[in-house]
Structure formats: C-alpha cells, structure tokens
Amino acid sequence: MATVVKTPPVPGSHAVEERTREIGRALFRQIGRGPSPFDRSWWDDQLMGLTMEDPEVKVQLFRFIDALPTLVEPASVRRHLNEYLQEAGDRVPNLISMPLSLAPSGAVGDRMLARMARAAATRMARRFITGSTPEEAFRTVLSLRRKGVAFTADLLGEAVITDREAEVYQRTCLELIQGLAEPLAAEPEIPRIDRDNRGPIPRVNLSLKLTSLTPRFDPTAAEATTDRVLNRLRPILREAMTCHAFVNVDMEQYAFKDLTYAIFRRALDEPEFRDYPHFGIVCQAYLIDAETDLRNLRDWAETRGTPITIRLVKGAYWDYEVLLAHQVGWPLPVYSRKWETDACFERCSEFLLDHHQWLRPAFGSHNVRSLAHAMASAEVREIPIDAYEVQILHGMGDPIRRALVGRGHRVRVYSPYGAMLPGMAYLVRRLLENTSNESFLRASAHGDVPVEELLRNPQEVGTMRAVVTRPRNEAKPSGKLPPFTNQPPIDFARAENRDRMRSALDHVRAQLGREYPLQIGRDEIRTDDRLVSESPNDVSLIVGRTAKAKPEHADRALTIAESVYPSWSSTPAQTRADVLFKAAAIMRAHLFELAAWEVFECAKPWAEATSDVDEAIDFCEFYARRMLDLADPRHRDVPGETNRLEYFGRGVAVVIPPWNFPLAIPCGMTVAALVAGCPVILKPAEQSPIIAWHLVQILREAGAPPEVIQYLPGVGEEVGAALVDDPRTAVVAFTGSKAVGLTINRVAAETKAGQSHVKRVIAEMGGKNAIIIDDDADLDEAVVGVLTSAFGYAGQKCSAASRAIVLDGIYDAFVQRLAEALPSWTVGPADDPDPAIPPVISAEARHRINDYKQIARSEGRVVAELDIGSLADRGHYVGPMIVADVAPKARIAQEEVFGPILTVIRARDLDDALRITTEVEYALTAGLYSRSPAHIDRVSRSLRVGNLYINRPCTGALVDRQPFGGFKMSGIGTKAGGPDYLLEFLLARSITENTMRRGFAPDIEELADREPSTFAQP
C-alpha cells in the first residue's frame, strides 16, 4: 500500500515559466551541435535529412520501405523503387536516385540493387529497433545501462489477425520478461535507474498493446473483447509480479481508448493484481479528453489504493484521427493545432505532479520546452527528481537523452523489438501517421529556429495567433440549404451509444408479434391470408404479421395512384423535397429504434443496421437537394426567343426492394420517385415487410399524402407481377436477383392495349465480385479487407466479395493467413454485438448456400470452415467457408451465391488476374490490394466495373461519395445515390416562346448596347 504524500502549495505560474526557460536554455547548451562528420551517426543523420527534407520524397521512400519486406524477387524491388521515385519526380536527391542508374538492368543488376536496398533499410532499422532476437535486445539493454539509461521493450510486428498470432504475441511477452529478469537481476545496481523516491523499481520494463492480445479488439462488443483480452493478459501480469517486472499498456487509436482504459482498470481491480504498484498506462495529450482521462484514473487509483504509472505522450495517430473524423463526420477527438497539444501536455504534466502519489509521472517527449516545463513544475513543487522519469524513443533523441542523463534524470528509452525489416515497416507506418514525429527526426539536423522561439509558452503562441488571425465569416446565405454531407455513423466505441442500442432492442422486443394492414390510399385493409416475418436469429420470434396483398389490391392501388399523379407531379418541388427533409429528421430521431427493427427482422448486426438507417437518411437529404437543383429550369435564351428545359414525374412508380438493406434501398428508390413527382406503390420484400411499414409511416408523417405512398406487402409472383404487368405503371424500380430482374424487364417491355407510354425499368441485379491481391499487397490489410468484404452480413450483399484472385507470388502466404484468421470471425445472433457473422435471411437461403458448399467441396480445396454447432437448431445459421485452388470457370467461381462462401483463385500475374476478374457475367464491384502505383493505375484504367475499391473493402458505398450500380448483368439504369438517378423517374419538356411582336422584343434595348461582333455568324 502506497503512502500518501502531501503536496506543497504550488507557486505562481510566473516562477514555473521562468524556471522552464532556464532549464530549456541549459538543455539546449548541453545538446550542442550534435555528432561530427567522423561519427557514423552524423552520416546517418545526413541521409535521414535528405529523406525528410522533401515531404513527397519522404512519403515515397517510406512507402518503399513499407513494401520491401514483401518483395521477394530482385526485379520487383527495382520496379517498386522506380515507381515510388517517379511519384516524387525531380525532387529526388541524386544520392538516392544514383543507385538506380548505376545498377545495370537485368538479373545481376537487379540483385545488386535489391541487396543495396535491403542493406540500407536494415541499417536504418538498426538505428530505431533494439534487436530482432532476445540476445540482441539484451545486448542493447546492457549498452543502455552502461550509459545510465533504463529501457522499456515494445514488441513490433505485423498486426494480429489470427488467434495464433495473438498467442505468439503473448508468448513473446512472457519470454521477454523471463529472459531478461534473471540476467538483469545479476547486474550491479545503478541507483538512478533502478530506484525511485520510494525504493527499488523493476529493471525489466515491458510495453504491450492490448489489441495484440486478440484478433478482434471490437469496442462494440466491449464485454466479449474484455474477456478475450484478459484471458491472455492475466498470465503476463502474473509473470511480471513473479519476476518483479513492470508492464505498461500502450494506447493506440482513439476508438480503442475507452475500452483500453476499462480493461486496464478491470484487470488491476482483481485481487491478485490490486496491490502491485508496477503497472502503467499511456495518456495521449493530443486528445481533447486527456485531462478528463487523467482525473478518472486518479479517482480510480485512489479507490484502488495502489499507484500506477502514467506515460504522458503527445500521441502518434494525429493524422489518422483527423482524416477519420473528416471522412465519417465525427467531431475531432484531437487538438487541431500543435500549440494546443503542447499546452495540454503541460497542463497534464502539472496534474500528474500534483497527484504523483497516485499517478507516477513518466514524461514521453522530444520537445525540450515540454520536458523543461515538467522539470520546472516539479522543482517549484519540491518534488524530488527521482519521483518521475523521462522517456524517449530509441534512436530518435540521443542528444536529448545525453543531456538529461547529464542532469541526473532517470531516462527510459522506448525500445522497439522485433524482426528488422517488418519491424521497420511497422515503424514507418507510425511515422507516416504522425507528422509531429518529423520534428524529432529533424532535430538531429539542427534547424535554424532561435532557442527562445522554441522555448516559448504554447499558450502564448496560441494567444498571438488568435490576435493575428482574422475571424472568418462563415455565415450561410439566408434561406440556402447547406451542402449535402453524409450522415455520420454511430460510434459504438462510446458506451452511451452501446447503451442506446441495447435500450432500443429492448423497446422493439416488446413490440414484436404485432399485425400490420395493407395501406391503400387512406384505407387500412386486413386480409385473412398473412405474411409472417420471423427473426433469422431465432425462428421462435415472430417479428410481425402483415396482410397479404392480392392482384385486386394492386388494381385498387394503381387506380388511386394514377388519379393523384397529375396533382402530385405538379406539386412544387420544394413541397415534395420538404417531405424528404422531414423524413430524414424523423429517421435521425428514431435511428436506434429503426436499427433495432433491422436487427430482429433481417439479422443486421449493430453497426450494419445503424449504417443502413444512415444511408436512408442520406438518400432523403441528397435526392431532395438534387430535385431542387433540377427544378430550377435550364434557360438557353436568344434575342427574341426564350427557351427553358423543365422536368416532371413519369407517372406511377412501383418499387420492389430487397431485404438485405431493408430500409436504405426501399427508402432510396421510394423517395427518389416521390420527390420526382411519381406516386409510389411499395411492394416490400417478403422477408422484411415490417421495416418497410415503418418507412411508409415515416413518409406519411413527413407530409406525403396517403395516396402517393401505398403499402402492398405480398408474394412477388402474385401482387408484384400484377403491378409490373399493369399498363398504368410507368416506372418499375427493382433490386434483387438477376432472374427476377430480367423477368421484370421482359414483362415491362411488352406494351399492353391502351398503354400510352413505354415503361422505364431500373434494376440492380447482383454481382460476382472479385478482389485482386497483388504480390506486394499488405497482407494485414488484404486479409481483413477480404474477410470483411466476403463475410460482412454473412455475404448477403450484392457488393460482397465472393472471389479473391491472388497473384502467384503471394498466393500460399495469403491463403494460410486467410484460413487462420477465419476462426475469430464467429457466428451468432445479430442482437449480440460480439459475433462477426449473423445468420442468413431464411431457411430457403440456408439450404441454397449449403448446396453451394457441396459444389465448392467438389471444385476446390476447403481451407477453412466454421462449425455452427447448436445454432442450427435456433435460427438460419450457416458457417462461412473458404475454398482455395478454384478454377476460374468453376460454378462456384461464376454463379452468385449470396452467402458466406469465398473462393480463392490463383493468377499468374496481373494480366491473368484482370482476365479472371472480368470473365463473369456481372460487373458490379471489384477491389485491388496493391502497393504498386503502376498496377493501381493500370487496374483503375482497365477494369470495367461499377464500383472499384483500392486498398479497402469492396462494400459500403456511401450516397454521393460512391454512387452505386454496375454493368452487364449487374443492372439496368444509372447509379443509385448519384447525380443522375432522379432522371430515371423524370420526363423532360422544352418550352420555347417567341417574344418578338411586330419587330419589337422586350430585350431590344439591351441588345443595342452590345458590340456588333456579338451577332457574327460562325
């Protein structure tokens, strides 16, 4: 149990500031001018300076190093180096481009260049990585001890995407603790690094990442993730206590922060770990909630009764957090300006020092001002120098390290440990993510910024910039709509959103089993024959029962829709658009509830369900704005004549949506027709009529007259066929199978007696989508991306990847990692946030998929398949399957399965991969994982598919950002969510008026002012 230390009153900030500058000046004097040209490190610094000087050169060289470990053939090394340097153009220094020109082309030259490249990368890696074997790491540790410096070992390597890799990470942690404990215990004590103000401290110090202890660190499934992590963390903590070692938990992306802290607290609250004082965790000062996090940790540590160590850092994911927030529309979790982060670091430093009896400070920074402020704050508080420590990165702050050791501080070097080249690639990714790392890499080159400027108070910097910067006038023009932006997704890393989803599920569960009538005009009609919607998660759960429409109901609905068409089509576009805006607002207010209905009726997992509601909102907002744009007539006037082009609705629209996006797709097709002026008859999918009923209620509540949005659930072959065949139907919007889509197109093409128009058919009909894996692909990203694309929502997306086409050089490694990763993608009900793969929609779908599994077994080699066990008795569950060595023309590689079966096909080279990709009857989506700029460019130019995704999953198109739709047998019509989609529901008329009367025109005076050449004939 720690002794409570009474903190003396803190002197004024002026004293701290003055002392900060004094310490900072002294540190800069001690740092000096750095190594001389006779030192090897000087030459390393010069080379590093060349790579850092130009941002584009830096990025391209780091990308090359990132790819280098995967490049097996020497010719591939040359090709990639050429491609990356070409991206940087003439900015590449001669010292870097010279080896390319000196090494002759051909096998001998390629081998020479490859050896040079690997040697240079390994040399760079050795500067930043302590070793690739325990023996090398121990030699580095001893070398540091001889310099009076402590260490913390950080394990590098590829991302953990399999349980085997998580077990290897855990075992390596245990072996590192065990392997270092005994030899370090035999070393003579160095009081400065082996003791603090309370006594002896551990000599073995390990930094680990909780995300590396499980292949699925998912904040949405916080409880299940916690259990998985703790099962592997507890043995490490026990070994640390046995060997008297220190364990620090690193912090990563913001999305993982709250769960990381929660797991850390839960572990240390367990009785066996509660009293051990040598555990710690990171706090990132660039986060806006950093100070709140520290207060929470302080309160918890007091309650626990044992102190912890806090490693205070600026943070290493700033670029990533900013880009992600802007992409998805979330608030920035980080400070947007460097001085704000620096100021927060100083406030956090003072908080740690004020509460050092519970939160032992470890200041991790290479910023002399930040470190000097922490030291000054400790001095004026009369906190002993051994009550805190400073941490720096191995190979990135040696002059600062020497200066701090010279002042008597305990300095701990953060020491990455692992295989050299893969480890360097990992480190490079961290450097590219964090522009602030550039500053301490360049520090070795000693910039020309004056010392006093470097030591300026960050708060003072911010105040000065606020005075200099003029405030921008961001007021929007009165009455003008803001530009369209996508609805931000729900962040389930936040506990309050998980709680809201659970509450919504409970709320909807209480409403299951109700009955829903047809809605024809203003009438609600109940029938003796009904559709029963059962939950795929649990077939004993009846989501609801709807009346079943017959052809006579279709006839009545068409009569009403046809009668209201003239008035609705002539209703002002603004009025129609307002219905969509109001519908979007209603959906936002009921987002979690609507998502909960999808979870029960269609087995949509939490994130997929909320994203589906987001997309429905996007369709409303986007199409409303697009209609307002189109409603503004296009004028092409000439002297004496006015010309305008205007649009009006085609007529009655029949909407036949699928069940797999049960709100977004029906909403998109329906609101596009409505806002265009077409009355809609919605015939929902038989598997998802209840969610469609809620959509109709929302649109009517938003102001759509009952006559223009009617609800006719029923069997497709009965009521759907009657609606398509009827001559009063002007537009059919369909999404579903190729067979049904082609039937609708054929029937609609037949002109009936009395029919005065040609029906317009918009049909999205599926795909057999492929992702190409280049031989230089990042396997961590490619494996996860393929699994996400293939098995997200159990493969029940028309955009899902059902083929992975892998180049020969990486085929075996890819298949092995893919197969090993699959077991962590567990199967289970969608209302449970932990399983990655939900059930399929129906018993019919399950039987069809299982039949295709038998075909797959006969056409390829099954490398992974999950057993669903007792789930088969509960709902419509199918275990995912990966089958490799499949011939491109095999049935399983050609036919759309619409379920969790992934075929893996070997390709000789990129030409072969492109050929295989296109030799199917569909052309909807495709993907590419590659680090070759030339290959990315070539695939982008030559692969004719509707949506091509590069180095990301091939599902998840967003309205406006990625308009969706394909070619060949994948669809008829233009892209949904794109600028042209509304034109499918519109007719255009051109109106011309002759304004000349007996030689006079209203604009004659204006013409008199024009130059004669204006009227010259071509």
Catalytic residues: 764, 798
Residue 888, helix vs strand vs coil: coil
> Residue 77's closest CA among 107, 49, 122, 48?
107
Burial 668-696 (b: 16+ CB within 10 A, else e): bbbbbbbbbbbbbbbbbbbbbbbbbbbbb
Which residue carries 């070994």 as its tokens? 239
Two tokens at 175?
Answer: 């072996």
DSSP-derived secondary structure letter, 824:
G
Q: What 3 state SS string does 63-124 have?
A: HHHHHHHHCCCHHHHHHHHHHHHHHHHHHCCHHHHHHHHHCCCCHHHHHHHHHHHHHHHHHH
Two tokens at 532?
Answer: 């029963």
Residue 636 near residue 643, CB atoms below 8 Å: yes
Residue 249 near residue 281, CB atoms below 8 Å: yes
List of E strands, 575-640? 634-635
DSSP-derived secondary structure letter, 382:
T
The rounded distance, in Å, linking the Cα atoms of 8 and 379 is 11
DSSP string, 645-672: EEEEE-SEEEEE--SSSTTHHHHHHHHH
The rounded distance, in Å, linking the Cα atoms of 574 and 630 is 11
Burial 368-385 (b: 16+ CB within 10 A, else e): bbbbbbbbbbbbbbebeb
The rounded distance, in Å, linking the Cα atoms of 43 and 33 is 14
Count the neighbouring beta carbons within 10 Å of the beta carbon of residue 596: 28
DSSP-derived secondary structure letter, 484:
P
Residue 514 near residue 541, CB atoms below 8 Å: no
Burial 133-158 (b: 16+ CB within 10 A, else e): ebeebbebbeebbeebbbbbbbbbbb
Which amino acid appears at position 693 of this protein? W
Cβ neighbours for 219, distance < 8 A, ≥ 6 positions apart: 225, 255, 256, 258, 259, 492, 493
Residue 833 near residue 221, CB atoms below 8 Å: yes
Query: Could you give phi then psi for residue 32, rounded to 5 degrees?
Result: 65, -155
> Residue 88's closest CA among 101, 97, 79?
97
Q: What is the arrangement of strands in the sheet containing 530-534, beginning at the earlier edge strand? A: 514-516, 542-547, 530-534
Residue 2 near residue 277, CB atoms below 8 Å: yes
Two tokens at 161?
Answer: 């995407």
The rounded distance, in Å, linking the Cα atoms of 97 and 114 is 14
Question: Which ranges of 222-337 does DSSP label H, i.e. alpha helix?
Answer: 222-242, 254-269, 290-304, 318-328
Cβ neighbours for 953, distance < 8 A, ≥ 6 positions apart: 785, 786, 788, 789, 792, 801, 927
